[in-house]
Amino acid sequence: MTRFIELAELFEELEKITSHKEIVRKIAEFFRGLDGNEVKDSAYLFLGSIGPAFVNTTLGIKDRLAVRAIAAAYEVSEDEVKRRYARTGDLGDVVFEISKKREASLSIEEVFQRLGQIKEASGKGSQEGKTWLLSDILQKATPEEGKYIVRLVLGRLRLGFGDQFLLEAFSIAFTGDKKHAGKIKESYSVCTDIGELAKALAEHGTRAPGIFSIKPGIPVKSMLAQRVESFEELEARIQGKKAAEEKYDGERIQIHKKGDEIKGFSRRLEDITAQYPDVIEAVRKSVLADQIVLDGEIVAYVELEKDGNRIEEFYPFQKLMQRRRKYEIEKYREKCPVAVFFFDILYLNGESLLKKPYPERRSLLETHVVVRGIVHIARRTVTESIGEIEEFFDETVEKGLEGIVVKSMGDDSYYEAGKRSWLWFKWKQEYSEGMRETFDLVVVGSYYGRGRRKGSFGALLCAVLNEEEQRFETLTKVGTGFTEINAVEINNLLSTHVVSEIPKNVSIKKGMMPDIFIEPAIVIEVLGSEITNSPGHTAGEGEEGTGLALRFPRFLRIRYDRAPYDATTVKEIRYLKNGA
């Protein structure tokens, strides 16, 4: 059995390394020495979790309980722990300071099991139980182990890399060559359980990617649409007949039905079933299949009758976000009625439909989903005429929708899970108003506010994702568009992600340094007018030291449905600037 100290020491090492290749090499080297179950457990732990994204892995311990557990483990006062915490800003560092040197005896399996026990402790006396479970294992841990056990428990591992690093490491460790990373990433888009994928690769090597297929209960990564600059480009990209579907300003949902069990998953793969009981009830009545996986969008929506006419009213995304809550669900169900609009089917009664062309999938969708109540199928038009598509776009804008998604009708129009595909293209209202685009940007820093904003942020430093390096590179400072409510909400979010120095997966130039550094966690949608060359930003920086910048940015909303690695990429920014 592999000792946990080896993983803790690797964590310590990885914190100091900034080279993408070196991080991947170190992780691959570590995985080679593990058995299948250790590989599975370690894959989760590298991402600061004890399970896949679609399972709730929150352990239920916050600072207050952690302080109590640390004090009990090392026989010091809680005030002493708090004093040291105020100085270091990290309870893991506090443990490292006050714990005693001892022989390493914990295994990866023991630590993983204990974290699971902490999560499962519930009901009356659960807080005391969680505190004891943490305190007990800290007493057995070395200072290095204790430091990372506490960070894992609190969800603050902060190694500065995401799952893509692990997928590359798997390729090197279990197939002997990085060239298989592409196939492994494709498998991960379908089997989104990184632990199960890691174990399969450890046991089956290059044969593992062929093992995985979509199945109910495990969400696949969503297929996304590319951007285009004009309707003329749409016509050039998709020859012949094409489908234009309404694009909704809501939350992507993947519905999985297996017999009587129905679950809904977000674009971030989170289980959001509990937030939308009305949608789940409606699906139960309207979906005519025993096993099915559907792709759609939940929208804040009401349908009215006026003078004998049916009127649809769509509300903005911000209103829908009232439904993303753990408590008072029934109250907000009444305050914010919703509907679900399905536009794709991915699985049906034991068969994956990912490799079926879009026209066939759409036909199956219409066969197995009955439109009634709050269950709808996305309205579309199918045509060869770009003029008819423009007319359809104008209709959607008049209804208050975001725009349209134009889809290929070709024989190869498959569902490309996890990809921003060249088979789907989006055209939004902002484009027709002369704005180039909206961008999903990651907040990496904030600047102190002045005047009315004193004591709050004045502007946010925002970045895009460099996919090749898995690094966040700055694109713009956003200081307009915030309401007072936005500012309070963002301040609350920022406070939980403040770090003392530039995160190692963030690139900021000296002249752009913020007053406060923020770990990449918060995604906001920003509207801008032009992308220019900039010596001050690092996005897509070339040999001359010039990056790209977004001019006249304006905050639109917080994107709770986007993870940092779902953000707009450098490649997309370059395409929008250069058209290629």
Q: What angle do CA 192, 25, 54 make, to 5 degrees?
A: 15
Query: Which residues, at least 6 apart from 96, have a Cβ–Cβ distance to it below 8 Å?
Result: 143, 144, 146, 147
pLDDT of 563 over the 60 cut: yes
DSSP 494-509: HHTSEESS--TTEE--
Q: What is the model's pLDDT at position 437? A: 77
Residue 181: both structure tokens together: 């990373």
What pLDDT score does 149 carry? 98
Alpha carbon distance, N-terminus to C-terminus of the chain: 51
Query: Does residue 524 contact residue 555 with C-beta atoms inside 8 Å?
Result: yes
In the predicted structure, residue 521 carries a pLDDT above the cut 60: yes
- What tokens were used for 202? 């450890």
pLDDT at 434: 53
Beta-carbon count within 10 A of 523 CB: 24
Contact predicate 253/342, CB 8 Å:
no
Predicted local distance difference test score (pLDDT) of residue 578: 77
Q: Classify residue 569: in a domain, yes or no.
A: yes
The mean pLDDT value for 90-107 works out to 93
Residue % of the chain over a pLDDT of 90 = 77
> In terms of domains, do 356 and 232 share one?
yes
Same domain, 424 and 461: no
Cα–Cα distance measured from residue 161 to residue 23, given in angstroms and rounded to the nearest whole number: 9
Give the other-Cβ count within 10 Å of 15's Cβ.
12
Rounded Cα distance, 147 and 553, in Å: 41
Answer yes or no: is 420 within a domain. yes
Distance between CA atoms of residues 521 and 405, nearest Å: 28
Instruction: Tell which wins on pLDDT, 579 or 301.
Output: 301
Does the residue 207 lie in any domain? no
- 514 and 418 in a single domain? The answer is no
Q: Is the pLDDT of residue 435 over 70?
A: no
* 554: amino acid identity, one letter: R
Q: Residues 303, 369: one domain?
A: yes
Quick check: is 202 in a domain? no
| Contact (Cβ atoms closer than 8 angstroms) between residue 8 and residue 147 | yes
Residue 88 domain-assigned (yes or no): yes
- pTM to 2 decimals? 0.90
Provide the pLDDT for residue 450.
73
pLDDT of residue 453: 64
CATH of the domain at 126: 1.10.3260.10
Q: 356 and 445 in one domain?
A: no
- Mean pLDDT of all residues in the chain? 92
pLDDT greater than 70 at residue 562: yes
Confidence category of residue 575, pLDDT binned at 50, 70, 90: confident
Of 432, 461, 493, the residue that ends a domain is: 432
Other C-beta atoms closer than 10 Å to the C-beta of 532 total 12
CATH at residue 271: 3.30.470.30
Of the three residues 417, 432, 447, the one that is the final residue of a domain is 432
Residues 6+ apart with CB under 8 A from 573: 439, 464, 475, 531, 539, 540, 548
What is the C-alpha separation between 445 and 451, in angstroms, rounded?
20
For the cut 90, the answer to whether the pLDDT of residue 63 exceeds it is yes
How confident is residue 451, by pLDDT bands cut at 50, 70 and 90? low
For the chain, how many structural domains are there in total? 3
For the stretch 31-62, pLDDT in tens is 998 998 999 999 999 999 999 999 999 999 99
Residues 564 and 496 in one domain: yes
Task: Please choose, from the candidates 570, 461, 476, 572, the residue with its C-alpha nearest in 3D space to the C-alpha of residue 520.
Answer: 461
Final residue belonging to a domain, choices 372, 399, 432: 432
pLDDT bin (cut points 50, 70, 90) of residue 504 is: very high
**DSSP letter string over 367-413?**
HHB--BTTEEE--EEEES-HHHHHHHHHHHHHTT--EEEEEE-STT-
Go through 72-109 and write b for each residue having 16 or more CB atoms within 10 A of its CB, e for each that does not. Answer: bbbeeeeeebbebbeeeebbbbbbbebbeeeebebbbe
Whether 400 and 518 map to the same domain: the answer is no
Tallying the residues shown for the chain, one arrives at 580
Residue 303 has pLDDT above 90, yes or no: no
CATH number at residue 511: 2.40.50.140
Q: Tell me: the pLDDT tens digits for 452-503? A: 666 688 899 999 999 999 999 999 999 999 988 888 899 999 999 999 899 9
* pLDDT for residue 227: 85
The per-residue pLDDT for 232 is 84
- CA dihedral sign of residues 57, 60, 61, 62: positive
98 and 70 in a common domain: yes
Is residue 543 situated within a structural domain? yes
Q: Residue 316 domain-assigned? A: yes
Residues 74 and 134 in one domain: yes
Same domain for 452 and 573: yes
* Residue 218 covered by a domain: no
Is residue 241 among the annotated active site residues? no
Q: Which of the following is catalytic: 247, 263, 356, 419?
A: 247
In sequence order, the 6+-apart residues with CB closer than 8 A to the CB of 6 are: 30
Sign of CA dihedral 52, 572, 417, 301: positive
Give residue-wise pLDDT tens across range 403-434.
999 999 999 999 999 999 999 999 887 665 55
Higher pLDDT pick, 316 / 78: 78
- Do 553 and 451 sit in the same domain of this protein? yes
CA 505/CA 513 separation, integer angstroms:
15
Looking at the structure, tell me whether residues 396 and 459 fall in a common domain.
no
Q: Which two tokens stand for residue 493?
A: 């979010």
Residue percentage of the chain with pLDDT more than 70: 97
- pLDDT per residue as tens digits for the range 182-215: 999 999 999 999 999 999 999 998 888 778 899 9
| Rounded CA separation 412/419 (Å) | 15
Bridge partners (DSSP) listed for residue 231: none
348-382 pLDDT, tens digit per residue, is: 999 999 999 999 999 999 999 999 999 999 999 99
| pLDDT recorded at residue 304 | 82
Average pLDDT over residues 430-439: 66
List pLDDT tens digits, range 229-266.
788 888 889 989 999 999 999 999 999 999 999 999 99
Q: Is the pLDDT of residue 347 over 70?
A: yes
SS (H, E, C) 311-353: EEEECCHHHHHHHCCCCCHHHHHHHCCEEEEEEEEEEECCEEC
pLDDT at 330: 82
Structural domain span for residue 420: 224-432
- From CA 66, how far away is CA 130, in angstroms rounded? 9
User: How high is the pLDDT of residue 579?
Assistant: 61
